[in-house]
Amino acid sequence: MGAVQGGAAAVAAGERAVRPEFTGTASEYFRVWIVNLFFTLVTLGIYSAWAKVRKRRYLYGCTRLDGESFDYFASPKAVLRGRIVAVAIFVAYALAGELYPPSQFAFWGIGALALPWLLVKALSFNARNSAYRGLRFNFDATPRQAARVYLGMGIVVVLTAGLALPWFVARQKAFVASHHAFGTSGFRCELPARSFYGIYILAGLMALAFAVPGAALSGYLVYLQMRGGINLPQSLGWLMWVLPFVPIYAGYAIAYAYAQARTANLFWSHVQGEGVRFASTLSAWSLIKLYFGNLFAIAGTAGMLIPWAVVRTLRYRLDNFSMIVAGTPVYAGNPNLAPVGAASQELGDFFNVDVGV
Amino acid sequence: MSVIQAVYFDGKTSARHPVTLLASGGRIKVVGADVGLEFDARLVRRSLRIGDTPRWLYLPGGGACVTNDNAAIDRITRDKRYEKLLHRWESRPHYAAAAVLLVVAMLWLLIDRGVPAAVERIAEHMPVEAEATLGRQTLQSLDERLMQPSQLPASRQAALRDKFADLAAKAGNTSPYRLEFRHTYLGANAFALPAGIIVLTDGLVDLAKTDDEILGVLAHELGHVRGRHTLRRLLEGSATALIIAGVTGDIASTTSLAAAAPALLLQTHYSRDNEREADAFAVQAMKSAQIDPAYFARILVRLEAIGRRGPGIPSFISTHPETAERAALARAASDQGSRPLARGEHVDFTGFWKANCEQLYGIQLKPAAKPGLYSVSLCGPAGCFDSGTHRPATTVQGDPSYAVLSAEEILVRETSGRDTSYVKCDSSVMPEIADK
């Protein structure tokens, strides 16, 4: 547990703030990453399931909270089975889409209906395979409850042309958090939608502030070039295609980092467990710098600095997280946790379903 | 006997029990202030060693012990061989360095060799309908975003269609194709889509001085159609993207895009082979149809000259091999290829010659004092300069040779081997240069 730094949440009498610690190093994670990547390539991807579990075990094992590390024990075989199912469905989706395009609508339809079930299974798989102090986490929502939030409230977002999106995000985050449990002790979370509106409106304005002048400038450049005002050599012709997207992309990244920092802080300050609450002090500006640093480091080294970026991001997040404990609570384990298949989590990874915590 | 300091969790509560592990004779004892347990060592499962992360012993009955003493755990339990191998690789820097090299080599092998080989097989077995759908969709999305219907008269389109059908027949082509005319602000271009669709833009028809030049470009695109190059490139692109996504999969999507950029550079590589194949077919087809392949060279050079201005479809520009190389190939195949390039001919050039009539600077070729030699001078608003003394946008180095391609076009080859085509401009904002 690190020393309490400035910006941490206020701690009342009888409470103590516990800050997580990351004991790993980027160079050690790099070695794990590169060796596992090598085996993944040699086995044409089959080993990727083992690699995924191993990398996550490393990151969990290096994360210490109140002196104890986290444990992750997903079975690589379950992950592999999940990946095979995910790849099979993806290939079927892609092939059917090529041969008979309307079939993609059917796929999306089925996908939307299966989404609640998928999310519940993915979150359960992840929670039940994560442990702390010898106790597993749990996610206990039913697909029906998830459907009410994701489909029911999702339809409201569509009907209001996106105006209800911040409200939806608040409800969805609260739903995910309040159905998680450590052992038998559940977490509670109620999020005020109003604060999410403030964050999203500001993030939207930030994105526009960059994208509009940027798009105008690059539009002008393209116009100039078409008039023959700029004579770019042939080898640099692609610049005219890339340039317009730079400010739009930068604006999006800044808005994204801002929204991430603010929503994470808001989210954690509203999560409570038995005798425990949380605080997050992410700064939007630090997160922006972190993301851009990662972007340039990864692009400049053709991906070789990915492990460094992962460790650096995780460390920053942990440094700005604290758990505030009242007394010394003892939690009970949940003896009736049935194992969950990994297919839904892998499907989620494949189709990029964001489970949003 | 091994003695290990550890922490015991019973799996029923989160309470922490500091314990000592005693291992001897196939038994493991867990001893602490309020703990006293003994297990058969064979029933105790142990987590794999990863770096220096804490190590877990999972006990029968749901309890678990965790310790930082990785070396002691390795002593009391047997290593599986692959586990030892993994840990050895991960813990030594020079093994990691070797892994970096191997990963790069593997990725290169996979993308450079594996992907084209796999794509080859997929392309062979791909159903015709699937390719037809793909071609239709690609054309449709281009029509929605970048292209409008052609403004050429129907009679002109029909004439070009007939000429091209004649060339394809004479070249012995059996691959089905479909010629589409389009107008686009992207300018002069022609490209092949999957399922044999060849798109010809009005800009290219305008740029061509004769129909034989257009036929040269179309024959080149037919070469792509015959090799199903576009389909392959699309498949290769998706396969490469999939590999890159797999490799970089554990970081947010914000940054994986950046990691994919080098892959795009790799993409251009195999398409160059495709271009050479298509060029070779174009030359052969033109010869079969008794059309001089030099026409193909001429339009290539002209396309390059205008390619410098205005955006074009990036794939068309950046993935084509050097124009000089391609034009030389076509010209070499031409019957009259080498003749005009030989020096010693006396030709008087009059008028104003430029790489592009909209460009500021022009060129003047005049016989030098020494018989059989020509000097090339660059002309600007202030008059003409001898080569070597002044180099504006057009650079001519040394004493070049030239070829008369037609009454309106001269090809100048610099000593560096670079070719530039100059066209005779009818109207000029430049002062008239007097020829000697």
Q: Do B308 and A234 touch (CB under 8 A)?
A: yes
Q: Which of B38, B6, B11 is nearest to B25 (CA)?
A: B38
Nearest CB partner across the interface for B255, out of A24, A295, A330: A295
pLDDT digits 0-9 by tens, B337-360: 433 433 444 455 555 666 666 555
Task: Report the distance separating Cα A253 and Cα A204, nearest Å.
Answer: 11
Neighbours of B86 (CB within 10 A): 20
Does residue B301 carry a pLDDT above 80? no
Q: Is A314 on the interface with B (CB under 8 A)?
A: no
- Provide the shortest C-alpha distance from residue B45 to chain A (in Å): 12
Task: Report the distance separating Cα B179 and Cα B189, nearest Å.
Answer: 13
Question: What integer pLDDT is reported at residue B321 of this predicted model?
Answer: 52
Question: What integer pLDDT is reported at residue B266 of this predicted model?
Answer: 43
Question: What integer pLDDT is reported at residue B62 of this predicted model?
Answer: 83
Residue with the bigger pLDDT between B226 and A87: it is: B226
Task: Report the distance separating Cα B367 and Cα B372, nearest Å.
Answer: 7
pLDDT digits 0-9 by tens, B31-56: 988 888 888 888 888 888 888 899 99
* Contact predicate B229/B274, CB 8 Å: yes
Query: How many residues in total does chain B contain?
Result: 436
- What tokens appear for B366 in the block? 């005049």
- Provide the shortest C-alpha distance from residue B52 to chain A (in Å): 8
Residues of A in contact with B51 (CB under 8 A): 24, 28-29, 31-32, 58, 61-62
* pTM: predicted TM-score of the whole model, two decimal places: 0.71
Query: In chain B, what percentage of residues exceed pLDDT 90?
Result: 13
Closest chain B residue to A229 measured between Cα atoms?
A: B309
Does residue A350 carry a pLDDT above 80? no
Amino acid present at A279: A
Task: Report the distance separating Cα B283 and Cα B334, nearest Å.
Answer: 8
Does residue A261 carry a pLDDT above 60? yes
Does residue B361 carry a pLDDT above 60? no
Q: Is A97 on the interface with B (CB under 8 A)?
A: no
| Whole-complex ipTM | 0.81
Does residue B262 carry a pLDDT above 50? no
Residue B271 pLDDT class (50, 70, 90 cuts): low
Q: Is B107 on the interface with A (CB under 8 A)?
A: yes
Average pLDDT over residues B413-417: 62
- Provide the shortest C-alpha distance from residue B78 to chain A (in Å): 19
Question: What integer pLDDT is reported at residue A270 of this predicted model?
Answer: 94
pLDDT digits 0-9 by tens, B166-186: 999 998 888 899 999 998 766
Residues of A in contact with B315 (CB under 8 A): none
Residues of A in contact with B255 (CB under 8 A): 291, 294-295, 298-299, 306, 309
Q: What is the dihedral of CA A3, A8, A9, A12, to 10 degrees?
A: 30
Query: In chain A, what percentage of residues exceed pLDDT 90?
Result: 38
Residue with the bigger pLDDT between B418 and B307: it is: B418
* Contact predicate B386/B377, CB 8 Å: yes
Question: What integer pLDDT is reported at residue A356 of this predicted model?
Answer: 33
Does residue A2 carry a pLDDT above 50? no
pLDDT digits 0-9 by tens, A85-124: 888 887 787 777 767 777 778 888 888 888 888 888 888 8
Does residue B429 carry a pLDDT above 50? no
Nearest CB partner across the interface for B255, out of A31, A41, A294: A294
Q: Do A233 and B308 touch (CB under 8 A)?
A: yes
Residues of B in contact with A58 (CB under 8 A): 50-51, 53
Q: Do B309 and A306 touch (CB under 8 A)?
A: no
Residue B298 pLDDT class (50, 70, 90 cuts): confident
Question: What integer pLDDT is reported at residue B431 of this predicted model?
Answer: 36
Q: Which of B107, B308, B322, B420 to mutate to test the interface with A (most CBs of A within 10 A)?
A: B308
Q: Do B89 and A330 touch (CB under 8 A)?
A: no
Q: Is A193 on the interface with B (CB under 8 A)?
A: no
Query: In chain A, what percentage of residues exceed pLDDT 70?
Result: 84
Nearest CB partner across the interface for B110, out of A41, A135, A299: A41
pLDDT digits 0-9 by tens, B130-162: 788 878 877 887 787 677 899 999 999 999 999
Residues of A in contact with B90 (CB under 8 A): 28, 31-32, 35
- Residues forming beta bridges with residue A185, ordered by sequence position: A182
| DSSP state letters, B211-239 | HHHHHHHHHHHHHHHHTTHHHHHHHHHHH
Which residues fall within 8 angstroms of residue B426, CB to CB, at 6 or more apart?
B357
Does residue B278 carry a pLDDT above 80? yes
Q: Is A101 on the interface with B (CB under 8 A)?
A: yes
Give the range among A26-35, A53-62, A163-172, B283-292 with minimum mean pLDDT: B283-292
pLDDT digits 0-9 by tens, A198-214: 999 999 999 888 888 87
Q: Which of A75, A83, A298 to mutate to test the interface with B (most CBs of B within 10 A)?
A: A298
Residues of B in contact with A73 (CB under 8 A): 47
Q: What is the CA radius of gyration of chain A?
A: 23
- What tokens appear for B207 in the block? 């740029």
pLDDT digits 0-9 by tens, B57-85: 888 888 899 999 888 888 877 667 777 78
- What tokens appear for B422 in the block? 């100059």
The SS3 assignment for A234 reads helix
Q: Which of A278, A292, A273 is nearest to A332 (CA)?
A: A273
B306: DSSP letter? H
- Provide the shortest C-alpha distance from residue A235 to chain B (in Å): 7
Question: What integer pLDDT is reported at residue A118 of this predicted model?
Answer: 86
Question: What integer pLDDT is reported at residue A95 of this predicted model?
Answer: 75
Task: Tell me the C-alpha to C-alpha distance, in Å, between residue B433 and each of A207, B384, B391.
Answer: 56, 8, 18
Question: What integer pLDDT is reported at residue B344 of this predicted model?
Answer: 40
Question: What integer pLDDT is reported at residue A15 of this predicted model?
Answer: 86
Residue with the bigger pLDDT between A96 and A8: it is: A96
Q: Is B94 on the interface with A (CB under 8 A)?
A: no
pLDDT digits 0-9 by tens, A216-232: 877 777 677 666 555 55
Does residue B286 carry a pLDDT above 60? yes
Residue with the bigger pLDDT between B333 and A126: it is: A126
Query: How many residues in total does chain A contain?
Result: 357
Q: Do A30 and B96 touch (CB under 8 A)?
A: yes
Question: What integer pLDDT is reported at residue A228 of this predicted model?
Answer: 56
Average pLDDT, chain B: 73
Closest chain A residue to B265 measured between Cα atoms?
A: A302
Give the range among B153-162, B220-229, B389-398 with minimum mean pLDDT: B389-398
